[in-house]
Chain A
Amino acid sequence: MTKETLIVSLKGENATDPVRALTEPRWVRWSLIGVGVLFVALFLVMPLVEVFGSALDKGLEYYLNAVTDPMALSAIKLTLISAFFSVVLNTVFGVASAWAITKFNFWGKNLLITLIDIPFSVSPVIAGLIYVLLFGLQGLWGKWFIDHNMHIIFAVPGIVLATIFVTFPFVSRELIPLMQEQGSDEEEAALVLGATGWQIFWKITLPNIQWGLLYGVILCNARAMGEFGAVSVVSGHIRGLTNTLPLHVEILYNEYNFTAAFAVASLLTFLAVVTLIAKALVGARYEKEKEVLPSSLESEPTL
């Protein structure tokens, strides 16, 4: 907007309408909103509709058969197992690392912070390859494990390991800024009042970080269930044994079984939508928790 038009819109015919005086012309507003809506519809809504549409292409019965197929059920089971281990282990690790990083000073702290970020900066395929190089038959420790009858690569443990690696930073990345902002005042207060380390953690620290923690867990879980690249490398694609849901979708698709592929994909999509809703709910609560409430009640008690 040029200087002249600004003056006109402030002094001119719009002067009586404060809202119009402070905003852009109608055609600018509508075209900007239109571009935004079109973009979201094209890239987010259409694929979503397409997934469910294609999944139900051959009717509900076909859909249910595809989803309850033993291979599909096995993939669901494996996805849940790897998500479970990733969430549990990364929650414990995330809380412990965030606690250490924000409440203590120690040598190598910056190195640890950098290390936590590695899974974000390394391609998941490379992450998978790292495990093949370590535990594969030709790998560094692979022979020892196989000699002791422990199969990691092309087996469930490999998939779980790869998933843990990829989802490693979610919880700690969520907690570190939160705990930094909160500082250690409450913990110090509890310590001086005579609380032990465990009491401080369970009664003070954990309640203060619970919403941030839940948020991190949801993100971690979503990524664990949807991970493809790293898992694909270590899985070996053995049907009914080492296929997770994303891998199962790929196999069905490669076999030109599009309807079944979309049916299974709709499960993942459904999980994603549920996660999004949970994330929105927790996020709203979390934001509310973070904001400092105004001390609205200045009234003194009447004695």
Chain B
Amino acid sequence: MSIEVRKLNKTFNGFKAVQDISLKLESGSLVALLGPSGSGKSTLLRMIAGLEIPDSGEILLTGREATFVSAKERNVGFVFQHYALFKHMTVYENIAFGLRVRNQSEAEIREKVHNLLSLIQLSGFEKRYPSQLSGGQRQRVAVARALAPSPEVLLLDEPFGALDAKVREELRDWILKLHEESKVTTLFVTHDQNEALEVASRILIMNHGKIEQDGTPIEIFDHPATHFIAQFVGETNYIDTEVTEKGLAVWGPFRFPINPSFTKGQKVRIYFRPHDVYVTEQFETLQVKAKIKKTRFKGTVIEYLLDIGEGKSIFAQVPKGVALASGFKDGLDVYAAITAFHVFPL
């Protein structure tokens, strides 16, 4: 039930969709493939499913060579972004399809379909047609259909991409629960970082056909490996400056202690998250003077644009309760410190 990919390549009319990708998913894991559109993540998923043939490289499913095995023989479950439910079949027949083509007995089919219907919480909906279901219900039927033939791996291509925010969140929880129960090795493609961070135990970040980082959500969020990931995952400020002296970079009033391996005069880009900017009304320690220029309400946090002098400004996010208690408002003089940051050479 493991998935292994070795040096996979795929080119479409000169466009390198997937370049030299190798990865290994352990049996029972739940992994997200995160990247912007056009990064090759769907192509990689479709190659694992057998819907695209790689130009070179190898795919192993449960340790068996499967690169040129037909999609029909791979025993993978695949969930499409736009559901791809069979329009002219009822919910029951949709889920039963993968069992019927395997010539299972009617009794076996009935039992399995009813189990899956209760798993997706759609018992009593078996006679409905896909057009009579809501988006979230359709996607759950698509997952049940993919699970019916007991696949060794489950692949989901932007499974919640076409749904509205509320339903997406419900389905995220549901997929997590489903995975805990079934323990099917699951790989899902998404361009929504929150989805990846929240659901997956491991995230592979793709960009330009390559995997840029492979790690747990916390590793990805707190230790981005590249410029791209620092900007792509989570909100961030970034500033360009040069190394002032060994182990120190200065930007405006801020002093960043950096790795001594950077040489003096080297150009660097420093990333820091708005919530890693510590803002108080009274000076506490190591802070610089700032003035609130603009306030933006973002739900659980409030974002401030801080003027730090010399025509420079940064974004800071403060939890709503703290912000209200401190009485932050436009034009107020405050103190700010950057508590965490990442430096990359330019």
Most buried by B among A189, A195, A196, A297: A189
Per the bound structure, the CA–CA distance linking A129 and B149 in Å amounts to 58
Indicate if B275 sits at the interface (CB-CB under 8 A). Answer: no
Indicate if B134 sits at the interface (CB-CB under 8 A). Answer: yes
Restricting to B42-94, which residues have a CB under 8 Å from any CB of A? 49-51, 70-78, 80, 82, 84-88
The reply to whether B87 and A298 form a contact with Cβ atoms under 8 Å apart is no
A297 in contact with B49 given A185-B84, A186-B84, A195-B101 (CB within 8 Å): no
The reply to whether A192 and B87 form a contact with Cβ atoms under 8 Å apart is no
The reply to whether A192 and B76 form a contact with Cβ atoms under 8 Å apart is yes
- Chain A residue numbers with a CB within 8 Å of B137 are 300
Indicate if B215 sits at the interface (CB-CB under 8 A). Answer: no
The reply to whether A194 and B72 form a contact with Cβ atoms under 8 Å apart is yes
The reply to whether B149 and A193 form a contact with Cβ atoms under 8 Å apart is yes
Indicate if B226 sits at the interface (CB-CB under 8 A). Answer: no
> What string of 1s and 0s marks CB contacts (under 8 Å) between B96-109 and chain A?
01100110000000
The reply to whether B88 and A192 form a contact with Cβ atoms under 8 Å apart is no
Q: Which residue of B lies closest to A199 (CB)?
A: B101
* Contact among B97, B121, B122 with A190 in the assembled complex (CB-CB below 8 Å): B97
The reply to whether B72 and A191 form a contact with Cβ atoms under 8 Å apart is yes
A298 in contact with B134 given A192-B71, A194-B102, A196-B72 (CB within 8 Å): yes
Restricting to B100-144, which residues have a CB under 8 Å from any CB of A? 101-102, 121-125, 128, 131-135, 137-138
Measured CB to CB, the closest approach of chain A to B20, in angstroms, equals 25
The reply to whether A193 and B82 form a contact with Cβ atoms under 8 Å apart is no
Measured CB to CB, the closest approach of chain B to A296, in angstroms, equals 8
Indicate if B145 sits at the interface (CB-CB under 8 A). Answer: yes
> What string of 1s and 0s marks CB contacts (under 8 Å) between A169-197 and chain B?
00000000000000001101111111110
Per the bound structure, the CA–CA distance linking A298 and B51 in Å amounts to 32
Measured CB to CB, the closest approach of chain B to A181, in angstroms, equals 13
- Chain A residue numbers with a CB within 8 Å of B149 are 193-194
Measured CB to CB, the closest approach of chain B to A295, in angstroms, equals 5
Per the bound structure, the CA–CA distance linking A192 and B50 in Å amounts to 8
Indicate if A269 sits at the interface (CB-CB under 8 A). Answer: no
A188 in contact with B131 given A195-B97, A301-B125 (CB within 8 Å): no
Most buried by A among B74, B80, B101: B101
The reply to whether B82 and A189 form a contact with Cβ atoms under 8 Å apart is no
Q: Which residue of B lies closest to A192 (CB)?
A: B78
Indicate if A44 sits at the interface (CB-CB under 8 A). Answer: no
The reply to whether A292 and B84 form a contact with Cβ atoms under 8 Å apart is no
Q: Which residue of B lies closest to A189 (CB)?
A: B84
Indicate if A102 sits at the interface (CB-CB under 8 A). Answer: no
* Contact among B87, B98, B133 with A194 in the assembled complex (CB-CB below 8 Å): B98
* Contact among A192, A196, A204, A297 with B134 in the assembled complex (CB-CB below 8 Å): A297
Indicate if A37 sits at the interface (CB-CB under 8 A). Answer: no
- Chain B residue numbers with a CB within 8 Å of A194 are 72-73, 75, 98, 101-102, 149
Measured CB to CB, the closest approach of chain B to A4, in angstroms, equals 48
Indicate if A54 sits at the interface (CB-CB under 8 A). Answer: no
Measured CB to CB, the closest approach of chain B to A70, in angstroms, equals 47
The reply to whether A186 and B86 form a contact with Cβ atoms under 8 Å apart is yes
- Chain B residue numbers with a CB within 8 Å of A35 are none
Indicate if A303 sits at the interface (CB-CB under 8 A). Answer: yes
The reply to whether A193 and B145 form a contact with Cβ atoms under 8 Å apart is yes
Measured CB to CB, the closest approach of chain A to B52, in angstroms, equals 10
The reply to whether B72 and A195 form a contact with Cβ atoms under 8 Å apart is yes
Per the bound structure, the CA–CA distance linking A185 and B244 in Å amounts to 57
The reply to whether B86 and A295 form a contact with Cβ atoms under 8 Å apart is no
- Chain A residue numbers with a CB within 8 Å of B121 are 300-301, 303
Measured CB to CB, the closest approach of chain B to A197, in angstroms, equals 9
- Chain B residue numbers with a CB within 8 Å of A42 are none
Measured CB to CB, the closest approach of chain B to A5, in angstroms, equals 46
Indicate if A207 sits at the interface (CB-CB under 8 A). Answer: yes
- Chain B residue numbers with a CB within 8 Å of A185 are 80, 82, 84
Indicate if A208 sits at the interface (CB-CB under 8 A). Answer: yes
Per the bound structure, the CA–CA distance linking A196 and B97 in Å amounts to 12
The reply to whether B80 and A193 form a contact with Cβ atoms under 8 Å apart is no
Indicate if A293 sits at the interface (CB-CB under 8 A). Answer: yes
Per the bound structure, the CA–CA distance linking A24 and B213 in Å amounts to 66
The reply to whether A297 and B50 form a contact with Cβ atoms under 8 Å apart is no
- Chain A residue numbers with a CB within 8 Å of B76 are 192
The reply to whether B122 and A196 form a contact with Cβ atoms under 8 Å apart is no
A196 in contact with B101 given A185-B80, A292-B131, A295-B131 (CB within 8 Å): yes
Measured CB to CB, the closest approach of chain A to B288, in angstroms, equals 52
Q: Which residue of B lies closest to A206 (CB)?
A: B88
- Chain B residue numbers with a CB within 8 Å of A192 are 49-51, 71-72, 74, 76-78, 146
Q: Which residue of A lies closest to B81 (CB)?
A: A185
Measured CB to CB, the closest approach of chain B to A231, in angstroms, equals 38
A293 in contact with B101 given A185-B84, A191-B51, A192-B78 (CB within 8 Å): no
* Contact among B71, B122, B124, B131 with A191 in the assembled complex (CB-CB below 8 Å): B71
Taking Cβ atoms with an 8 Å cutoff, the residues of B that contact A are 49-51, 70-78, 80, 82, 84-88, 97-98, 101-102, 121-125, 128, 131-135, 137-138, 145-146, 148-149
* 9 closest A-B pairs by CB: A193-B98, A293-B131, A185-B84, A189-B84, A192-B78, A207-B88, A195-B101, A298-B134, A295-B134
Given A189-B85, A295-B134, 7 more pairs with CB closer than 8 A:
A189-B80, A190-B101, A192-B71, A192-B74, A292-B131, A295-B133, A301-B122
Chain A to chain B contacts (Cβ below 8 Å), 9 pairs: A185-B82, A186-B85, A188-B71, A189-B78, A189-B145, A192-B71, A196-B72, A203-B97, A301-B121
